[in-house]
Amino acid sequence: MIVALLVILVTIGSVIFHMWSPWWWSEIASNWQGMDDTILLTFWITGAVFVAIGLFMAYCIWKYKYNKNNKADYEPENSKLEWALTILTTIGVIALLAPGLIVWNNFVTVPKGAYEIEVVGQQWYWMYRLPGKDGVLGTTDIKNINDDNPFGLNTDDPHSIDDVLIDADDLHLLKDQVVKLNLRALDVLHDFYVPQFRAKMDMVPGMITYYWFTPIKTGTFEILCAEYCGTGHYSMLGYVIVDEEEDYNEWLSEQMTFEEVLASNGKSDLIKLALNKKNDL
Amino acid sequence: MAADSYDDVAKNKDSIPELEVAPQDLYHAKSFWTKYIFCQDAKVIGIQYALTAAAIGMVGLVSSWLMRMQIAFPGVIPMDPAAYYQLVTMHGMIMVVYLLTALFLGGFGNYLIPLMVGARDMVFPYVNMISFWVFFLAVVILAASYFVPGGPTGAGWTLYPPQAITSGTPGGDGLGIVLMLVSLAVFVIGFTMGGLNYVITILQARTRGMTLMRLPLTVWGIFTATVLALFAFPALFVAGIMMTLDNMLGTSFFMPAIVEFGERLSYDGGSPILFQHLFWFFGHPEVYIVALPAFGIVSDLISVHARKNIFGYRMMVWAIVIIGALSFVVWAHHMYVAGMNPWFGFFFATTTLIIAIPTAIKVYNWVLTLWRGNIKLTIPMLFSIAFIITFVNGGLTGLFLGNVAVDVPLSDTYFVVAHFHMVMGIAPVLVILGSIYHWFPLITGRFLNEKLGRIHFWVTFIGSYSIYFPMHYLGFMGVTRRYFEVFEGDNFTYSITGINQFITVAALITGAAQFVFFYNIITSSKFGKKAGKNPWKACSLEWQTADVPPTHGNFGKELPVVYRWAYDYSVPGADQDYITQDTPPSDVANARAEQT
């Protein structure tokens, strides 16, 4: 009796905890509503299975408690029942998988014309790069990295010179602008994760990974590094600030381009080289 | 397979095959050293494995206590981030590899396989003995890493490069990571010797009449898990060797050109994702290496204590085999957001969710075994019931993480921590605990203390559920895992301090209950109630030995002959509610058993 009650208590208690839990996701601030919806759908289906199995088991424990005058049923197999359960489970799995794959298909298909931004992770801070006036991010090489060129931009790439470099933990985005984040790590794995945007992807040294989203709300959102990256992992934080156009432009005008960074470091010879290339284009 | 009736078997004497090889005498140890230390008896080796695994497991348990203290009550036990990450790493690696794998396969496998299949010992007793001592060496190497400068590695149990071998990670530029990799390689060597033994013993040394479809599900679970391990561990082995070369000789298997703290390292051209593929090609089957023996054992516990045959035995066997096969094509579901080609997501999400089907069948059949049973609420049964709840919970949250689009927000949060602890931490541990209460009377001839056992059960089950169930909700909120300071993030809908303190207190209590259990084992092995022969009235062969506890050679002069499956409980017409596997049909003439 007590054991049957325990099973009921754990089953129902889990459901009650779920309904009353104050720990829940914060309001979504991107276009990935589909992820939330799939989670909720999964909750309904798996929750029903959990409750059904828990309560049925409690019933069995209560109803078929040992009695030396009773004898258990002898039924090694019941293929009808076994097949029925198998088919029912398969239907449940399809109901979960299909919407999940549709959302994933959206996630991996970057819309044309998405604004490309580079996010760079290193132990234990973030840097960002915007494509500048020409709308194209210049190419990079890890061999170019030095104090004057923290992003490792190729100075002979004509697209490099107008790139906007943000050597700080905070990034501003324009509300309702589709962005594709090109993710790069200089040392070890990192992961650029803003809980309200739902999306995340590891950043892997030696390659460029990406994901896209559209910020749909203005506000300040915390960035967390979501892939373990050494002793400072827990302190690798920052902010994404989603602005309306006016605020965004004001922020943008305060940032330095690669050209300005080089000039301020007295490396104008490099600028000349790059500008020549640009004129050749 | 046709389900012959016993009448047919009785009529047809040829159905019990002749002896294929003449009985061979075993090597009989004479001295203390060969009897208890370098012992060739699989039962002793099993206990040696179990004790070693439990000893290092205790380090893993205490590590988790210290971690939880730092998360909920920072400063009470002073530690720096490096120490915290070392605790996280060693806790994970010890629990998964050195405790669970070694205990299920080395411990239960060695003790139970020969007894359950009706063999006198493993087929290669000498190799079996070496296997244990190589495992012991692996544990010693692992333990040694605590004493080298810089301490053990703090790379996380997944040991992802580049950070595992760079200076930003504890032990990354010292001996910590080297000793970890060497210890794993030694573990794999030791396991391979033992694993070949288990597989060949099950395939070649079954007694007469013990067909594969008469094996207890415990043996099926351990068998399939061992086959998985023999295929999966080589991937870990080569990954470990390659990373050691990257670390010691400067090769670049996993290391691209990187700049660490402003300094350009000499590596170039390697792929960190290659390591992740190799690691998870091992790591996912590893989940089932731990889960399948638990599935098998719990099936037997439920059947014995519900006095009812396991429901759908053949489906259960096939489910184990299919899960084992599928477990090799789902590995990249650990890597949905690792930066691999995103199109892989479609394939691995599909295979991962397909694996839910045979797994669900197993759950249904456990519950349907209870249905219309005659359930004795013994301690092993209590742990089995707790296992089902925990496993269903952890299995269902796998449907969140396996479904690639849902994994994106949840990956690397506490939801993942909660999920895998439920499904491959707590669930298998509940089976281990239940099965120790079940087989202790066989191993020592005495019962464990009932009162202490019930306290142990209630605290362990309710405690562990209280630890991990709320943790899922922290994951939804976006609390990332592996944070030295769990801070109150701007986006959190509610403070996490209180719930973290609750979880830590639950973890401390649940952990402490295990020491009650150890106390029970120590005292009961001396002073416990005498059990006698076959106290649970079980059908399988391990309870039918001439002596209890079974001596070297397991059975008496003659090996048993098997006439039926291991689940003839409550057969209509039989006098008792069980018919042991070695009972000839002529002894139970009135019984109307269906399955052979």
3-state secondary structure of B13: helix
Q: Are A110 and A212 in contact (CB under 8 A)?
A: yes
Per-residue exposure over B6-17, b if at least 16 CB sit within 10 Å of its own CB, e if not = beebeeeeeeee
Provide mean pLDDT across the span B325-346.
95
Residue B153: name the closest of B225, B244, B62, B71 by CA. Answer: B244
Q: Are A248 and A174 in contact (CB under 8 A)?
A: yes
Chain A residue with minimal CA distance to B159?
Answer: A228
Structure confidence by residue, pLDDT tens digits, A29-50? 999 999 999 999 999 999 999 9
Chain A residue with minimal CA distance to B271?
Answer: A206
Question: What gap in Å lies between CA B227 and CA B236, rounded to an integer?
Answer: 15
* Residue B520, pLDDT above cutoff 70: yes
Structure confidence by residue, pLDDT tens digits, B221-270? 999 999 999 999 999 999 999 999 999 999 999 999 999 998 999 999 99
Which residues of chain A lie closer than 8 angstroms to B3, CB-CB?
A: 76
Structure confidence by residue, pLDDT tens digits, B51-110? 999 999 999 999 999 999 999 999 999 999 999 999 999 999 999 999 999 999 999 999
Domain residue spans of chain A: 2-67+76-108, 115-280
**pLDDT averaged over every residue in chain B:** 93
Which residue in the set A10, A81, A234 is minimally distant from B484, CB to CB? A234
Q: Inter-chain contact A23–B494, Cβ cutoff 8 Å? A: yes
Provide mean pLDDT across the span B562-567.
94
Q: Note the pTM of the prediction, 2 decimals.
A: 0.95
Question: What gap in Å lies between CA A15 and CA B374, rounded to an integer?
Answer: 29
Q: Inter-chain contact B353–A71, Cβ cutoff 8 Å? A: no
Structure confidence by residue, pLDDT tens digits, B113-151? 999 999 999 999 999 999 999 999 999 999 999 999 999
3-state secondary structure of A239: strand
Question: Beta A237-243 vs A209-213: how paired, if at all?
Answer: unpaired
The CA–CA distances, whole Å, from B464 to A10, B107, B389, B418 equal 12, 24, 12, 11
Which residues of chain B lie closer than 8 angstroms to A66, CB-CB?
A: 307, 374-377
**Helix/strand/coil (H/E/C) assignment for every residue in B99-130:** HHHHHHHHHHHHHHHHHHHCCCCCCCHHHHHH
Give the gap in angstroms from C-alpha B537 to the nearest C-alpha of chain A. Answer: 13
Question: Beta A256-257 vs A164-166: how paired, if at all?
Answer: antiparallel
The complex scores an ipTM of 0.95
Q: What does the CA dihedral B313, B315, B316, B322 come to, rounded to 10 degrees?
A: 150
Helix (H) or strand (E) holding A185, with range, is strand A179-185
Which residue in the set B400, B412, B489 is minimally distant from A191, CB to CB? B412
* Residue A267, pLDDT above cutoff 80: no
Interface of B with A in 31-90 (CB under 8 A): 80-82, 85
Fold of the domain spanning A115-280 = Immunoglobulin-like (2.60.40)
* Residue B3, pLDDT above cutoff 70: no
Q: Inter-chain contact A35–B406, Cβ cutoff 8 Å? A: yes
